Amino acid sequence: MPNTKSIGVAYEDQQLDGAVMGKTGGTASFYGTTPIVQAAAITAVTNTASGTELATAINALRVALKNIGITA
């Protein structure tokens, strides 16, 4: 059902209930994948990070994007 209310007016959308992540503990997904809870924080890398530390951070990002359906 489309939103027919004025801009800035809150409305309840049953399709979005529980989709908000963060404090509410909801789930999210894209492109028909199974909704999952928010991924754990990914450790920030520094300017002096080793190749292993960079690979670990990049792989964590790749997994997080894949799990919610943004990448295959």
Mean pLDDT of each 10-residue bin along the chain, 72 residues long: 58 51 67 84 91 94 90 86
| The pLDDT value given to residue 7 | 61
- DSSP-derived 3-state class of residue 63: helix
| The pLDDT value given to residue 53 | 94
| The pLDDT value given to residue 11 | 55
Give the pair of three-digit tokens for residue 41: 């924080």
DSSP letters, 19-43, are ---STT---B-STTPPPBPPPPPPP
Domain count, the chain: 1
| The pLDDT value given to residue 22 | 46
Domain that holds residue 11: 1-72
What one-letter code names the amino acid at 41?
A
| The pLDDT value given to residue 23 | 52
Give the pair of three-digit tokens for residue 53: 């530390």
Give the pair of three-digit tokens for residue 36: 């999952």
| The pLDDT value given to residue 10 | 57
CA distance 53 to 59: 10
| The pLDDT value given to residue 48 | 93
